[in-house]
Structure 1
Amino acid sequence: MSRRPVRAGHPRGSGGIAVAADRVLTLPNLISFVRLLGVPLFLYLFLVVKADVAAIVVLAVGGTTDWVDGWAARRLGQVSRLGELLDPFADRLYILATLLAFTARAVVPWQFTAALLARELLLLGSLAVLRRHGYGPPPVHYVGKTATFLLLAAFPILLLAASVPAVATAASAIGWGLAWWGLVLYWVAGVMYVIQAGRLVRVTRARSGGAAA
């Protein structure tokens, strides 16, 4: 990750794909915005009207379309700085909103939610340190994307287990298998980000010390 002002864009993404740093109205960004709208819709269906089947559909669509915005951005050459921020933000919002809602209705235990929230606090601390040293957010690692995929796949299955007794045993086993693996990988990715941030900070301090000398 290169050092840069937080607001600064970069002209090319990985693989030489042109980055539309200042573009907002792109198809990938539109997909991300639609995914974001799915969060309050899910919360309304799940917590207010308790339409669990509809809530399962919203979660399933939100989870399965996780990769669509990134794929469209690369395919259409519409990678943008806004899109790079929106994609992980939408993922985190889905995960956090779903977990808090699930905890409120006892679909998942509070300990699971607390473990995931602790990881988010760790990442926020790392981002604050990077920002103070002039770095933007680190690039999304494939371990983190895998963890996100597992968690987003687990949630509708866990809700299915809680809502449909006929499939509760099988759905619960599959859902919790995905959820625990997702949580473990989520923490692994978080530790990797912290290590990366620590290395960048040490390099910055070493350069500053050398310049002062």
Structure 2
Amino acid sequence: MSSTTGTSPPARAGGLWTLPNLLSALRLLGVPLFLWALLTERDGLAVIILMASGITDYLDGWIARRFAMTSRVGAMLDPIADRLYIFTTVLGLAYREVIPWWVVAILIARDVLLSIMLLTVRDERSKGLPVHFVGKAATACLLYAFPLLLLAAGTGTLADISRPVGWAFAWWGMVLYWVSVVVYAVQVAAIRAQSGGERVH
């Protein structure tokens, strides 16, 4: 993850072939494999890939901060991998009727709204908004929820335990996902106000 408290530190330029970036790239390569496993009902493999994605998501951010390996490339790869896993998972789970389609609508609507907000600060968009703890916490909750909900699609004690825990994480993730929109809206408003002030001067 990019940050654990407050906002993430500014990314440094360069550092393409760093360990955090390689971990993020591996997460991206795992997306099509995960989708194939999910749609062909190889749930064990799908759960393992999701768990590996969550672990590497944490590790790439921790290594980047601990060993000063943050970079602009990593700052782009990490959220792209997060979004792809969220989209492929919710679409696949909805297709298999593990979750209702309104969950897909809630999550996609949030990202559409955020994209529209970013369009209003086009000059700053390439630099990226600071990654806030709320947004990362929301993503973490959803990445915890998905393998649990996938396990809940089965039968037996494990499925019975996974179902309520998975939905608890899913609800927390969806709520925090939309709370993060408010946080990012404040950041966008600050950028627009600053840009307006610079034009006046």
Give 2:77's aligned residue. Answer: 86
Give 2:67's aligned residue. Answer: 76
Per-residue CA distance 1:44-93 (angstroms, 9 max, x = gap)? 1111x321111111111112321111111122221111001111111111
After TM superposition, list the pairs within 5 Å mapping 1:110-189 onto structure 2: 110-132=101-123, 136-189=127-180
Query: What are the ranges of 5 or more consecutive residues in structure 2 without an aligned counterpart?
Result: 1-7
Q: Point out the structure with max Rg over C-alpha.
A: 1
Give 1:22's aligned residue. Answer: 14
- Contact kept, 8 Å, 2:24 with 2:56, in 1: the verdict is no
- Contact kept, 8 Å, 1:52 with 1:159, in 2: the verdict is yes
Would you say how many aligned residue pairs link Structure 1 and Structure 2?
194
Q: Relative to 1, partners in 2 of residues 1:133 and 1:35: Cα closer, same or farther, differing over 3 Å? A: closer
Query: What are the ranges of 5 or more consecutive residues in structure 1 without an aligned counterpart?
Result: 1-12
Question: In the aligned structure 2, how far is the partner of 1:80 from the partner of 1:133?
Answer: 17
Which secondary structure does the structure 1 equivalent of 2:120 belong to? helix
- Among 175, 186, 193, the alignment partner of 1:202 is 193
Question: In the aligned structure 2, how far is the partner of 1:163 from the partner of 1:60?
Answer: 18
Q: CA deviation at 1:24?
A: 1.1
Give 2:34's aligned residue. Answer: 42
Question: In the aligned structure 2, how far is the partner of 1:18 from the partner of 1:203?
Answer: 21
Give 2:46's aligned residue. Answer: 55
| TM-score normalised by structure 2 residue count | 0.90
Q: CA deviation at 1:204?
A: 1.7
Which secondary structure does the structure 1 equivalent of 2:17 belong to? coil
Which secondary structure does the structure 2 equivalent of 1:77 belong to? coil
- Among 96, 99, 107, the alignment partner of 1:108 is 99
Which secondary structure does the structure 2 equivalent of 1:65 belong to? helix
Q: Relative to 1, partners in 2 of residues 1:136 and 1:86: Cα closer, same or farther, differing over 3 Å? A: same
Q: Runs ≥4 in structure 1, deviation > 6 angstroms?
A: none
Q: Relative to 1, partners in 2 of residues 1:134 and 1:141: Cα closer, same or farther, differing over 3 Å? A: closer
